[in-house]
Amino acid sequence: SQQGEEDPQALSIQEGENATMNCSYKTSINNLQWYRQNSGRGLVHLILIRSNEREKHSGRLRVTLDTSKKSSSLLITASRAADTASYFCATGSKEGNRKFTFGMGTQVRVKL
């Protein structure tokens, strides 16, 4: 089974609205990362948050991490049509960063 589980599986919003998606994981982690994938293309790294951090910002992205609940959230503010993509969380294991485990992803569609 996947270590990271994104929720919801799909999200449809209007341009300008905020999009929030969540990621839950099972084991202790060293870090958690979010990636974006446009249809059929390679994943692009968005942001990394370490296990000792609670919140991180990058442009219109805000990531939170709650290690007690083993969950993370990604917020995209003021969404744009170009944000239409699948978003994946990936956890880096405590045994060094040798193994990354991705979830199934959240498909986000931003309507004009």
Partner 1 sequence: DSGVTQTPKHLITATGQRVTLRCSPRSGDLSVYWYQQSLDQGLQFLIQYYNGEERAKGNILERFSAQQFPDLHSELNLSSLELGDSALYFCASSDRTSQETQYFGPGTRLLVL
Q: Name the residues that contact partner 1, by CB under 8 A.
A: 2, 31, 33, 35, 40-45, 48, 88, 90, 92, 96-105
Q: CA-CA distance, 111 to 59, in Å (whole number)?
A: 21
CA dihedral 1, 102, 32, 65 (to 10 degrees): -60
The amino acid sitting at 31 is N
Q: How far is the CB of 75 from partner 1 (least distance, A)?
A: 20
Nearer to partner 1, 78 or 104 (CB): 104
Nearer to partner 1, 25 or 88 (CB): 88
Q: How far is the CB of 41 from partner 1 (least distance, A)?
A: 6
Q: How far is the CB of 98 from partner 1 (least distance, A)?
A: 4
